[in-house]
């Protein structure tokens, strides 16, 4: 069937507009409840977490109504990071986990992500089946089998204790001053507390959510705020999370940013040295820089590329038996520890290397020289299909031939926003800019 609700990371859209309405959330909850309760037995449970968006209250209540209407018992976690939902789904033996978040998007947006009982995000096939149930008649539970709902007060604490176990025993963060930017999002309590408990001097940023300031001039998509704090406080390192804390960017002591590619390069090299990198392979997406691929090859390691989306990274990791992957955007997936990207755990792995070696962050964040890369986004109206236009296809093909042998072009539609992403890499920066600008101009003319 044609997928209309689910994108690359669950269901996402503007709050109070299709599909992010209370009515649709109720139907999604009911459909998910029926999907996971097909055997008709009782005692099924679901955990629901959320970030700090104002619309989270509305969607949480609607999902709870839909889930309980099909006999699911709902455990409400409140604001917790997305990876906490994956962890708690499994540790609390729930049948399904739900995270209400639009990740790095502005507060006006929201989303709904589902996790299976193993703590991993649902497959495309499972999402397609739930979507088909949303469109049909959903069988409700009999009156005596309606589910219950209750608040779980220690969900965040359970997650924090688990996160600390991923930090090497025998190491502490004493003497390290760390700026932690929580983007006024889901980790605004968990991240500073974990860092403090491990011994760091903590400078918190973005820890005053009000429902509308999530990702607003802070977090992994706006690192300037944290960079200024690093310099002002003389911090050793900065850690920038996004709204649901499944992404991370690292800042050195000068405020310079290391993206996901640089973080993955450091981890892959270190893990390979310790014999921990399974299959000598790092999994990343087509967006990762060519410089990362060259860096790994020089060490006898390989890069396995996937489609954009951390779920596709995880699926490839599970198929290949690999344990490290992620995205340039800052999703770092370590299946030895977590079932999805975890910005806090990734940040701790970086801090552990700093504490172990005594090296400054500036010597750790620059693992390889990047090939010049340019990415531009073109917004389009819902329903428009600019990439299907012959005029756009012709410009893309002409520039692909032009850059052939010198770099690469990647043009794709975002799976989470109405954007066409135009990315290219080329050693010749003049050609790089010209290629991207021509393609962007053609797409803009088409929209």
Residues recognised as catalytic = 103
- From residue 404, how far is each of 49, 377, 397, 409 by CA, in Å? 46, 22, 10, 9
Q: Which residue has the tokens 């600390």?
A: 164
Paired tokens of 239: 């850690």
Alpha carbons within 13 angstroms on the beta-carbon side of residue 259 total: 16
As a whole number of angstroms, the distance between CA 323 and CA 270 comes to 13
Q: Radius of gyration over alpha carbons of the chain, in Å?
A: 22
Paired tokens of 342: 């975890």
As a whole number of angstroms, the distance between CA 17 and CA 14 comes to 6
As a whole number of angstroms, the distance between CA 85 and CA 76 comes to 10
Closest alpha carbon to 9 in 187, 242, 226: 242
Paired tokens of 253: 């002591």
Q: Which residue has the tokens 């069988």?
A: 139
Q: What are phi and psi of 74, to 5 degrees?
A: -105, 130
Beta pairing class for 332-334 and 45-50: unpaired
As a whole number of angstroms, the distance between CA 56 and CA 103 comes to 12
């Amino acid at each position: 069937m044609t997928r209309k609700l689910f994108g690359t990371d669950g269901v996402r859209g503007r709050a109070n507009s299709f599909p992010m309405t209370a009515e649709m959330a109720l139907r999604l909850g009911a459909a998910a409840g029926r999907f996971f309760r097909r055997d008709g037995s009782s005692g099924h449970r679901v955990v629901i977490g959320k970030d700090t968006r104002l619309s989270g209250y509305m969607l949480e209540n609607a999902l709870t109504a839909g889930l309980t209407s099909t006999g699911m018992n709902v455990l409400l976690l409140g604001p917790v990071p997305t990876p906490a939902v994956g962890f708690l789904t499994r540790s609390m033996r729930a049948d399904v986990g739900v995270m209400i978040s639009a990740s790095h998007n502005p507060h006006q947006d929201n989303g709904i992500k589902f996790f299976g009982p193993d703590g991993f995000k649902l497959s495309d096939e499972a999402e397609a089946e739930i979507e088909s149930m949303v469109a049909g008649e959903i069988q409700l539970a009999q009156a005596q089998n309606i589910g219950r709902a209750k608040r779980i007060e220690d969900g965040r604490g359970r997650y924090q204790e688990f996160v600390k176990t991923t930090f090497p025993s025998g190491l502490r963060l004493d003497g390290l001053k760390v700026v932690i930017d929580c983007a006024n999002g889901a980790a605004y309590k968990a991240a500073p507390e974990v860092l403090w408990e491990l011994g760091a001097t903590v400078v918190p940023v973005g820890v005053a959510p009000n429902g509308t300031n999530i990702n607003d001039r802070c977090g992994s998509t706006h690192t300037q705020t944290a960079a200024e704090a690093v310099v002002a406080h003389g911090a050793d390192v900065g850690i920038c999370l996004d709204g649901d804390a499944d992404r991370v960017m690292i800042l050195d002591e000068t405020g310079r940013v290391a993206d996901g590619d640089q973080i993955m390069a450091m981890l892959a090299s270190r893990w390979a040295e310790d014999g921990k990198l399974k299959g000598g392979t790092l999994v990343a997406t087509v967006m990762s820089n060519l410089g990362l691929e060259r860096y790994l090859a020089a060490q006898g390691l390989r890069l396995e590329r996937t489609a954009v989306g951390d779920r596709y990274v995880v699926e490839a990791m599970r198929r290949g038996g690999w344990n490290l992957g992620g995205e340039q955007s800052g999703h770092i997936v370590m299946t030895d520890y977590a079932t999805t990207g975890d910005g806090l755990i990734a940040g701790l792995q970086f801090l552990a290397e700093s504490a172990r070696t005594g090296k400054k962050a500036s010597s750790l964040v620059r693992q390889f020289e990047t090939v010049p890369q340019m990415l531009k986004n073109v917004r389009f109206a819902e329903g428009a299909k600019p990439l299907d236009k012959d005029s756009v296809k012709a410009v893309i093909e002409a520039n692909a031939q032009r850059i052939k042998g010198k770099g690469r072009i990647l043009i794709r539609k975002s799976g989470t926003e109405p954007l066409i992403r135009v990315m290219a890499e080329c050693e010749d920066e003049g050609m790089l800019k010209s290629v991207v600008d021509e393609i962007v101009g053609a797409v803009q003319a088409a929209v």
